[in-house]
Amino acid sequence: MSYKDPLIKELKGHILKITEDVKGCGEITDNSSHIISLCDTLERIFQKGIIVHGWNSLDELALMMDLGNLGPKSFAYLRAAEMVRTCPKVKSPTGKLRLLIRSCLVNRCLHIPVEIMVRSHSFLTCNWYDQNDSILGNEILGEILLSVLLQCSTMCFKLDISNSKFLDITLTLPHCVYMELVPCSELGVAISFFDDKALVVHVEEKSVAAEDDRIEVGDIVDELNGQILHSGLKGKLSSIMTKGKNKPVLVKLIKARDPESGFIYPPIEVLLHKANIEIHPNLHQNLIRNKDKFCANNRIRNNVNYVGSVELGDAGHVKMIEHAILEVLKNPDNIELISVRIECHELGLKVIKEPTGELLTCNSFMEISSCGQTRRHPNYFGYIAGDNLCNLASKFTCHVFQSDCDADVQNILQSIGEGFQRTHYAV
């Protein structure tokens, strides 16, 4: 049996190159040209020959550690494992392993889990690894790896552990910036959640966010006032701002563009396509603002009658829909039904006259505050839209429609509701 493995040789090579690079400064940061290669090799070593489904339960090793034998570094590993276990930014076993590797490098304790398996609890390696096709399942190769990782524990890694939003996808990290903005009640940005990430889809002109183009369309708001943003916080962003009232607004932002090359970070580019946001071809220009261009794919069309609209002032809640319907029905003799089709798209809806194709009205879902129908008049329904993004609007209008087909009514209301949930978050 060979007691050499190309991955260990590769690991030694990366460590040697990193050591040479940091001579003089002594610190290894995310800007090191070899840090991604180092982490990638470590990941492949830990994954090689694995039997269980990924390193989803690496923190379980901590529960079986003999703290007295493994020394104070075991506490550092305990902290790192617990941080990974509770971090909402990584979801997959692969992402968790990558974050754990980076955290353990920073805390100089990556040798701890290897030492546990190689020396303390050999039954773990039998249950987790194929002994004939792994490094950690082989006692001698495991000892060689341990000696290399002990060398790593003497090195000073200064990695940004909080930059982990895309570790499920790649080890190549985006450019992050930390901002302290002036106290304000609204930043002036609209956020849409895609793949559990808070994508900026609109920036208000002359707002705090727009100052010096610090926040741009396409950026990801990773943290707001210390709160990690995820889709579970839909509808709660304003309350996060309120809690920090009269204090500087702290924002951790993942930039869409690399500040040096101007290229779009590839995983964010995928999100931009999902949001139907155009990218300006000039790499030295900012992302153009979302022009409320509606996606033509998977759009839903329904033919109904447009009854009319009712101005509601600053009241945009769902209870006003019944009021608006009753208002337009007060004078039935004056009602002129207009045949229209409602097209529900990815980011908004259009109301188009039939058969001329003339656009009657158009609203993004971020402007729509509510939709519904009434029991008293089930063939009538409507939606309420503001004169701005919903959380910023001061004037609301209810558009009322009629249809004899209940299935069409339910289909339209469901489509509007889904669009509302998908895009309606502004801070």
- Residues 311 and 241 grouped into a single domain: no
Whether 168 is in a domain gets the answer no
Degrees to nearest 5, angle at CA 249 with 246 and 250: 145
Best CA proximity match to 100, nearest among 140, 54, 134: 54
- Residues 267 and 313 grouped into a single domain: no
- Residues 22 and 88 grouped into a single domain: yes
pLDDT along the chain (427 residues), means of 10: 82 91 81 92 91 55 47 79 91 91 95 82 69 86 94 93 95 93 87 92 88 88 94 83 86 91 86 79 39 41 88 91 93 88 83 92 85 90 87 88 90 83 55
The helix/strand count (H/E) of the chain reads as: 13, 16
Q: Are 347 and 340 within 8 A, CB to CB?
A: no
Whether 279 is in a domain gets the answer no
Q: Distance between alpha carbon 267 and the CA centroid of its chain, in Å?
A: 10
| Res 122: pLDDT | 59
**Domains: count for the chain:** 3
- Residues 116 and 90 grouped into a single domain: yes
CA distance 312 to 395: 7
Whether 262 is in a domain gets the answer yes
Degrees to nearest 5, angle at CA 393 with 399 and 387: 45
Q: Are 155 and 18 within 8 A, CB to CB?
A: yes
- Residues 256 and 305 grouped into a single domain: no
Whether 191 is in a domain gets the answer yes
- Residues 202 and 328 grouped into a single domain: no
| Res 44: pLDDT | 94
Backbone angles phi, psi at 66, to 5 degrees: -90, 95
The CATH number for 265's domain is 2.30.42.10
CA distance 352 to 2: 73
The domain of 123 spans: 6-158
Residue type, 286: N
| Res 296: pLDDT | 37
> What is the DSSP track for 84-140?
HHH-TT--SHHHHHHHHHHHHHHTT-THHHHHIIIII-HHHHHHHB-TTS-STTSHH
What pairing do the DSSP bridges indicate for beta strands 338-344 and 300-313? Answer: antiparallel
Q: Are 263 and 285 within 8 A, CB to CB?
A: no
The CATH number for 31's domain is 1.20.58.900
| Res 400: pLDDT | 96
- Residues 269 and 360 grouped into a single domain: no
- Residues 261 and 327 grouped into a single domain: no
The SS3 call for residue 69 is helix
| Res 423: pLDDT | 55
CA distance 99 to 83: 9
Degrees to nearest 5, angle at CA 404 with 399 and 338: 45
The SS3 call for residue 325 is helix
Question: b/e for 83-122, b at 16 or more Cβ within 10 A?
Answer: bbbebebbeebbbbbbbbbbbbbbbbbbbbbbbbbbeebe
| Res 55: pLDDT | 54
Best CA proximity match to 145, nearest among 304, 15, 309: 15
Q: Are 207 and 397 within 8 A, CB to CB?
A: no
Q: What is the dihedral of CA 255, 259, 261, 264, to 10 degrees?
A: 10
Domain boundary among 109, 125, 158: 158
- Residues 318 and 260 grouped into a single domain: no
Question: b/e for 205-218, b at 16 or more Cβ within 10 A?
Answer: eeebbbeeebbbbb
Whether 311 is in a domain gets the answer yes
6 upstream amide cis, omega within 30 of 0: no
- Residues 15 and 144 grouped into a single domain: yes
Query: Which H/E stretch holds residue 158?
Result: strand 156-158
- Residues 369 and 330 grouped into a single domain: yes
| Res 309: pLDDT | 94
CB atoms within 10 A of CB 7: 15
| Res 407: pLDDT | 87
- Residues 154 and 181 grouped into a single domain: no
